[in-house]
Structure 1
Amino acid sequence: MFYFGKSILYYINSSQNSNIYWSGKNPYFDFSSPILNQPNKEEEKSNINTESKLSSYDLTLAPEIIKFYQRGTQLEQLSDWIFKQNTCLISVSGLYGTGKTTLVKRFVDLNLHKFAVVIWRRLKYPQSLNLLVSDLLNVCQQEPQSTLDKQLRQLFDILANQKCLIILDDLQNIFIPGKFAGQYKVEYQDYQNFFTMIREVKHQSHVIVISQQQSPEMECLDDELYPIKSLELSGLYDVDILQNRGLKNEDYWLQLIDLYAGSFIDLKSVSILINKNYDGQVADFLAENTLHITNQMQSRLQEIFNHLSTQEKEIVLHLSKFEIPVTRDYLKESLSLSVIDFNNGLQSLQQRYLVTKIKNNKILFLLSSVFREYVRNYCQN
């Protein structure tokens, strides 16, 4: 039997051992075939409702993973939360360039067959919750009803009866720039209620949100109260991430990675500069003893700085003066902020992963090294 749809040709043999063929760029985009993921005997033991014929995959907006580096522990963590602990809402967050999206896509690639529905959506240019839910229902072959309330009822009926996985990438774009982290824009406040429903309404499905800042719904101190988990990624300190970038002096690669805090994006940008200006000689570049901010990095860091609140900017400008971690009291004493504004600003900067809290004999705070260099050179009055 042949199925035609969305530039993909499917051939399905109706015998017990199905053979599957496809042509087209994205075999994940499947609205039509109930047989493609018919579970085997082992999978019948899972939570998937095998009586339903729904099988819908839409990963057309997900990235293609060419290489995957040293995140096995985090992959196991995601698997444990979803398949063993049945965690319904998971955030994967961290500063840009830490491989958040790559990690989640790798998890999806390895576990696609374990879900009846998998949908990946990017919020780079976010849409209202009403449009998002309608979109999700269309993928699930459901005609959206007239109101958001009715559509949510439709969606949660599917989430309860099917094992679904929904990924929402770039969540930070629905938050207000110029305010503390995690404050929703007026037109996207319905998302806050949606995430609350995901964690409070009983179902067997999962939502993963990927963001450069932590959303307030993920800050639950009681792990047993709500089925939510947060995975925070930092940079990756592995020389393999610099392979095939035309760089020389491999003995110096780890030093270069450390200088840019293991950020994939920053290391890619600076590798291009080293190739062009230093003929790939990492040792010569490091001999300059400078954390170089490339043009591409400037644009990205400027956007981050512009999204900070007034209080956060004041803290960052002062904190950028210190090479070493400082205590909360030492940081505060030179600022004109009230105790409330200072505490809210410092918390918000940690939610954006720009400031790290270090637990030693005393609690210390340190600004991200790359962001500190940018602030010093481009944000001072």
Structure 2
Amino acid sequence: MGKTSLAVKLQEQIHGDFKYVIRRSLKNAPPLSELLGSLLKLLSKDENIDIPDNINIRIARLINYLSSHRYLLLLDDGEEILQPRELMGQYRQGFEDYEKLFRQVGERPHQSCLLLISREKPKIIESLEDNTQRVRSYQIQGLDDEAAKEIFKIKSFSGSESRLNELINLYQSNPFKLNIVARTIQELFGGSVTNFLDQATLDFNDISNLIDTQFQRLSDLEKEIMYGLASAGQPLLLTDLRQQINKKGITDAMKSLTGRGLIEKTEGEKHFTLQRIVMKYVNRKLSR
């Protein structure tokens, strides 16, 4: 279960609060004009409706619809309109108009809800959170212990409670990763959690590919910070990182990495480190 599956689950739970639910994927990075055109045709129930080319007019018409009825507009794969290999939140060239959409929907009164699902948060969202009570962002956390254990218990996996807890903590209770791991344990280790932990490469290909997708989107400075944290082998203060990497922009890069969920704070929220699985992935890259 990944972010999209969780969004679908949320949609199932709250759809009764809305008259209409509309879901669109941004995976193929549609230009905003194309997305708005598709939405306006759907909402008007008229394929032949005359839609002006002007983006601002299209956004205004969309908001009129969002005001007339209670809609849930779900936009998935939001990271696809953001620029890879830059700090988090920058738009790809040609997709800057999406900021107009997010700003207008966030600032103007209406009775609907736009739910953006993304591995990265556009910068405008943070600004809107600070300036309006209508915009909120939530970083998906791992499952609670009981829900995480249920993934393994319903399939009759073997292993002590302590080893199962070790496995869940290793993958940060991430349901998508745990399901991948569960499948691997079942297929290759006969359902034995202990054998997997004792014998397996914990960042095997399926897991490594997930991390690699995120890693390839990082800026050069973010990657350098990741390498620095991995090579240190222990949590570091921000001042330690500054001494190790004497470059401008460290604070912004750390904020970006935190937003991506690739680094975490420890020891009184003052030290930074990598998640254990991410640490293994980065160290493997360093050893090549």
Q: Give TM-score scaled by structure 1 length.
A: 0.68
Match of 2:189 in 1: 278
Match of 2:165 in 1: 254
**Contact 2:159/2:192, CA 8 A, preserved across alignment:** yes
Percent of residue pairs bearing the same amino acid type = 26
**Contact 1:317/1:380, CA 8 A, preserved across alignment:** no
Partner deviation per Cα, 1:145-187 (whole Å, 9 max, x = no partner): 1213332222111111111110111111111111111100012
Which of these residues, 214, 228, 232, is aligned with residue 135 of structure 2?
228
Task: Give the structure with the larger strand fraction.
Answer: 1
Question: Aligned to 2:109, what secondary structure does the other structure show?
Answer: coil
Question: Aligned to 1:232, what secondary structure does the other structure show?
Answer: coil
Closer, same or farther in 2 for the Cα pair 1:222/1:178, shift >3 Å? closer
Partner deviation per Cα, 1:318-343 (whole Å, 9 max, x = no partner): 111344422101122111322xx211
The one-letter amino acid of 1:100's match is K
Match of 1:182 in 2: 89
Closer, same or farther in 2 for the Cα pair 1:193/1:359, shift >3 Å? farther
Are residue 210 (structure 1) and residue 113 (structure 2) matched?
Answer: no
Match of 1:317 in 2: 227
Instruction: Mark the runs of 5 or more structure 1 residues left unpaired by the alignment.
Output: 1-96
Question: Aligned to 1:186, what secondary structure does the other structure show?
Answer: coil
Closer, same or farther in 2 for the Cα pair 1:192/1:366, shift >3 Å? same
| Higher Cα radius of gyration | 1
CA distance in 1, matches of 2:26, 2:286: 28
CA distance in 2, matches of 1:221, 1:372: 34
Q: Higher mean Cα deviation, 170-179 or 269-278?
A: 269-278
Which of these residues, 254, 260, 264, is aligned with residue 175 of structure 2?
264
The one-letter amino acid of 1:139's match is L
Are residue 157 (structure 1) and residue 64 (structure 2) matched?
Answer: yes
Closer, same or farther in 2 for the Cα pair 1:212/1:239, shift >3 Å? same
**Contact 1:220/1:226, CA 8 A, preserved across alignment:** no
Match of 1:131 in 2: 34
Closer, same or farther in 2 for the Cα pair 1:213/1:359, shift >3 Å? farther
CA distance in 1, matches of 2:25, 2:275: 26
Which of these residues, 132, 140, 146, is aligned with residue 52 of structure 2?
146
Q: How far apart are 1:188 and its partner, in Å?
A: 1.2
Q: How far apart are 1:250 and its partner, in Å?
A: 5.3
Number of equivalent positions = 280
Q: Give TM-score scaled by structure 2 length.
A: 0.88
Match of 2:258 in 1: 350
CA distance in 1, matches of 2:256, 2:274: 13
Task: Give the structure with the larger helix fraction.
Answer: 2
**Contact 1:269/1:294, CA 8 A, preserved across alignment:** no
Q: How far apart are 1:207 and its partner, in Å?
A: 0.4
**Contact 2:71/2:112, CA 8 A, preserved across alignment:** yes
CA distance in 1, matches of 2:231, 2:198: 23
CA distance in 2, matches of 1:278, 1:359: 35
The one-letter amino acid of 1:166's match is L
* 1:14-33 mapped onto 2 (5 Å cutoff): none
The one-letter amino acid of 2:187's match is K
* 1:282-297 mapped onto 2 (5 Å cutoff): 282-288=193-199, 292-297=202-207
Partner deviation per Cα, 1:266-314 (whole Å, 9 max, x = no partner): 22222233233322211122234x6611212222222221111010010
CA distance in 1, matches of 2:178, 2:286: 22
Are residue 332 (structure 1) and residue 242 (structure 2) matched?
Answer: yes
Match of 1:239 in 2: 149
CA distance in 1, matches of 2:12, 2:251: 41
**Contact 2:26/2:76, CA 8 A, preserved across alignment:** yes
CA distance in 2, matches of 1:156, 1:113: 21
CA distance in 1, matches of 2:175, 2:286: 24
CA distance in 2, matches of 1:291, 1:150: 54
Q: How far apart are 1:352 and its partner, in Å?
A: 0.9
Which of these residues, 258, 266, 270, is aligned with residue 363 of structure 1?
270
Question: Aligned to 2:23, what secondary structure does the other structure show?
Answer: strand
Q: How far apart are 1:113 and its partner, in Å?
A: 2.9
